[in-house]
Amino acid sequence: MRAAPARVVDALGTWCPVPIHLIDRAARRAAPGEVIELLADDPLIEVDLPAWCHSSGNDLLELCREEGGDYVGRVAISRGGRGGGPPRGRDRGRSASG
Amino acid sequence: MAAYLDHAAATPLDPRVREAMLPFVADEFGSPSSLHDRGRRPAEALERARRQVAELVGADEEGVIFTAGAVEARNLGVKGLLRGNRRTGRHLVASAVEHPATLAACRTAARDEAELDVVPVDGEGRVGAGDLAARLRDDTALVALVHGQPDIGTVQDVPALAAAARGAGPGARIAVDAGETAGLLPVDMAAMDADALVVGGPALGAPAWAGALVVRSGARLHPLIEGGIEEGGKRAGPEALPAIAALGAAAELARAEMAGRAARMAALAERLTAGLLAVPDVRLNGPREGRIPGHVQVSAGWVEGETLALALAARGVAVSPGSACTAHGGKAAPVLEAIGLEPPWTHSAILLTLRWTTTEAEVDEAVAAFAESVASLRAMSPLAP
C-alpha cells in the first residue's frame, strides 16, 4: 500500500505553465522525502512534469491518467527548498498581468 | 438615517478594518506578484489575510481562495467542484433553501447535463438528514448545504447533515455556504466535514465585495476565471488587495470578539423580534431559536414587502424587502414558498439585520416605524380586514 501524499497540488482546470508553477512552489515548501501529488488535466503535463523533475532534481514516482482523463503525478522531493528557500509571497514573480 | 438594519446587504467598516485596507488604496499600490520591492508588503498582506481567514474557519491557509464576494465563492464552489469531480458523476444535491447564487449555479449545471435533486425543508427551513441521505447516490458528485439561510435565518445542523451525506454518497463533495455565518457563529471546516466553505464580507464586518472559498486539500476544484497563477490558479487575475486585507483583518477581529458580539446581537434581536411581533398579524419567518445572530425576517399580513420597506425608508429606517439578495421584482421569495408559506405571507416579508454596533435606540426606532407603516398601509389596503 502506498503512503498518502503529504501535499496535494490541485492544478485541475489550469494550463501550462501553471501546473508546473504550482508544483514548483509546493516543492520549495516541502521537506526532502515528502511526496507531492499533482492533479492536472492539461495533457502537456505528460511532457512538463518529467522535464521539471529532471531539471529540479526531484523524483517522478509515477504519472498516470485516471478514468475521465485527469492526470495524477506523484513526485518525491529529494531537494527540498530548491532554489534557496520559499518565495516571500505565495505567487510572487509569477504573473502580474491584468 | 435613524436606524440602519440592513447589515446583511452592506455593513459599515470597523475603523480597524478600514485601517487595514487603506494602505492598499494609497502608497502600497504594488502587485503581490512582483519580484521587486514594491511587491513585498502587498505579498505579505495577502498571505497574512489568507492565514487570518483560515484560522477563522479552522482550515489550512493553502486552501483559501479570495473572491469578489460570497456570490462568486458560491459559484466557484458549485461549478468548480462539480467539474473537478466529474469522474464521480454528474449528479448533485442541494437544499431548497440555498442562496440564490448556489441554486442558480446548480440549475446551470443541470441545464448542462448534470442532474439536480433538491431536498425539501420543514416549515422552519430545516433540512432533514434522512431526506438528504435519501437523495444521494453513488454518482453524486456534489452536495450543497447552506449553514445560515440568508432570507429566513435558519441555521442548519451541518455536521449531522454532512455525516448523513457521507454515509449515503461516499464520493460526493460537500460545499457548505457559511457566507452569512462565518464570523457571527463558530464555523469549523473539519467539524462540518466540508470540502469547500464560503466566507462572505458582511458577516465579518468587511465589505460585501470581499469573500473567499476555502477548499480542503485534494477536493478537486476547477477555476471559474482562468489564465493566471493567482490564488493557486483557481482565481486568475490581480488580487483585490484592499478587499482581501479588510477580510483578513475582519476575520481576526471576529475570531477574537465573537462571543461578546453574539451576546449583544442576541439581546438586540430579541428586543427587535418582540417589538415587531407585538403588531397584529405579523409572523416571524424561520425559527425563534437557532437563527443567524442579528437576523430577523417577518411577514406583515396584507402589506406588500417592497412597499413596506419603502415606507420604512421614508421614516429613516433601512431594511430589505424579503431578503437582502432578492430585494426587487415583486416576486415571492422561493425560500418562503419552500417553507410552505402562501400569499399574502410570501409577498409581505421584510428582512432586518443588525450587528453588534446597532443600538437599542435604532431597534426601538425601527419597531415604532414598523408599527406606523403597517397601520398606514393596511388602512389603504382593500384586502386588509
pLDDT tens, residue by residue, B6-21: 999 888 999 999 999 9
Contact B228 A95 (CB under 8 A): yes
What is the rounded CA–CA span in Å between residue B104 and residue B306? Answer: 23
Using a CB–CB cut-off of 8 Å, the residues of B that contact A are: 31-35, 39-40, 42-44, 46-47, 50, 80, 83-84, 86-87, 215, 217-223, 226, 228-234, 236-238
For residue A32, is pLDDT > 60?
Answer: yes
> What single-letter DSSP state applies at residue B126?
P
**Residue A95 and residue B35: Cβ atoms within 8 Å?**
no
Sign of CA dihedral B142, B200, B194, B185: negative
**Which pLDDT score, from 0 to 100, does residue B329 have?**
55
Report the alpha-carbon distance of residue B64 to residue B300 in Å, rounded. Answer: 41
* Rounded Cα–Cα distance for residues B260 and B265 (Å): 9
Residues (pLDDT < 50) of chain B are 324, 327
Euclidean distance between CA atoms A51 and A63, whole angstroms: 12
Give the pLDDT score at B307.
93
Would the CB atoms of B230 and A95 count as touching at under 8 Å? yes
Pairing outcome for strands A59-65 and A71-76: antiparallel
Ramachandran category for residue B290: left, alpha or beta (phi over 0 → left; psi -120 to 50 → alpha): left
The nearest CA of chain B is from the CA of A28 a distance in Å of: 14
Contact B43 A93 (CB under 8 A): no
Q: Does A11 touch chain B (CB under 8 A)?
A: yes
Give per-residue pLDDT as tens, A57-86. Answer: 999 999 999 988 999 999 999 965 553 333
* Contact residues, chain B, for A34 at CB < 8 Å: none
* Residue B113 region by backbone torsions, left for phi larger than 0, else alpha for psi between -120 and 50, else beta: left
Smallest CA–CA separation between B204 and chain A, in Å? 24
C-alpha cell at B141: 458528485
Whether the upstream peptide bond of residue A17 has omega within 30° of 0, thus cis, is: yes
Residue A3 confidence (pLDDT) above 70: no
Q: Quick check: is A16 catalytic?
A: yes
Using alpha carbons, list the distances in angstroms from residue A93 to A97, B39, B43: 11, 9, 11
Give yes or no for residue A1 having a pLDDT over 70. Answer: no
Cα–Cα distance measured from residue B263 to residue B266, given in angstroms and rounded to the nearest whole number: 5
Catalytically annotated residues of B: 325
Return the pLDDT at A4.
65
Tell me which residue of B104, B122, B146, B147 sits closest to B338, measured CA to CA. Answer: B122
CB contacts, 8 Å: A66 with chain B = 87
C-alpha cell at A22: 504550482
Q: Is A4 on the interface with B (CB under 8 A)?
A: no
pLDDT at site A92: 54
Q: Do B32 and A15 touch (CB under 8 A)?
A: no
Question: Cα–Cα distance between A19 and B144 in angstroms, integer?
Answer: 28
At residue A31, the 3 state secondary structure works out as coil
Q: Do B233 and A11 lie within an 8 Å CB cutoff?
A: yes
Q: Is B52 left (phi over 0), alpha (psi -120 to 50) or beta?
A: alpha
Compute how many other C-beta atoms are within 10 angstroms of the C-beta atom of residue B136: 22
Please, what sign has the CA dihedral across residues B279, B284, B287, B290?
A: negative
Q: B229: nearest CA in chain A?
A: A18
Report CB contact under 8 Å: A89, B44.
yes
**pTM listed for this prediction:** 0.92
Q: What is the pLDDT of residue B322?
A: 78
Q: What is the pLDDT of residue A87?
A: 40
| Shortest alpha-carbon distance between residue A10 and chain B (Å) | 6
Nearest C-alpha in B relative to A87: B35
Q: What is the predicted pLDDT for the residue at A83?
A: 39
Instruction: Looking at chain B, list the stretches that DSSP marks H as alpha helix, in order from N- to C-terminal side.
Output: 15-21, 40-57, 70-75, 81-84, 100-111, 129-135, 158-168, 189-192, 201-204, 241-277, 305-314, 334-338, 360-380
Q: Is it true that the peptide bond before B150 is cis, omega within 30 degrees of 0?
A: no
If residue A74 lies in a helix (H) or strand (E), which one and from where to where?
A: strand A71-76
Min Cα separation B142/chain A (Å):
17
